[in-house]
Amino acid sequence: QVQLVESGGGLVQPGGSLTLSCAASGSALSTYHMAWYRQAPGKQRELVARITTGGSTNYADSLKGRFTISRVDAENAVYLRMDNLEPDDTAVYYCKARRGLGANLSYGPEYWGQGTQVTVSS
């Protein structure tokens, strides 16, 4: 029911910053746990960051400190700020939503956006 559209990707130099947006329509995000994933060529889809309905966050250990996930329910949007980007961050970044209860429980279908390309290169 919820539609997700990522935006903000593009070409950035190593060491640069970029902020991705995930805009939702069709349903309010206030009852959804949200997450960012990424998939680089030849690699498995990887969890980047997660944010619960209550605002609790989790990050891939290697990315913690460089990436920040946030949500603004009034805007029906989730954001991913990426700092000090590296070439290995190059990937398609996807936004995911799933109904959540508290900080631990998720249920129902997973909803995915189409992804936005991030390329880190000099």
pLDDT in tens, the chain (122 residues): 899 999 999 999 999 999 999 999 999 999 999 999 999 999 999 999 999 999 999 999 989 789 999 999 999 999 999 999 999 999 999 999 999 988 889 999 999 999 999 999 99
End-to-end CA distance of the chain: 40
The pLDDT value recorded for residue 102 is 84
With beta carbons less than 8 A apart as the criterion, state whether 76 and 9 touch.
Answer: no
Q: From CA 75, how far away is CA 92, in angstroms rounded?
A: 23
* pLDDT at residue 1 in the model: 84
Task: Please report the pLDDT score of residue 103 as a whole number.
Answer: 85
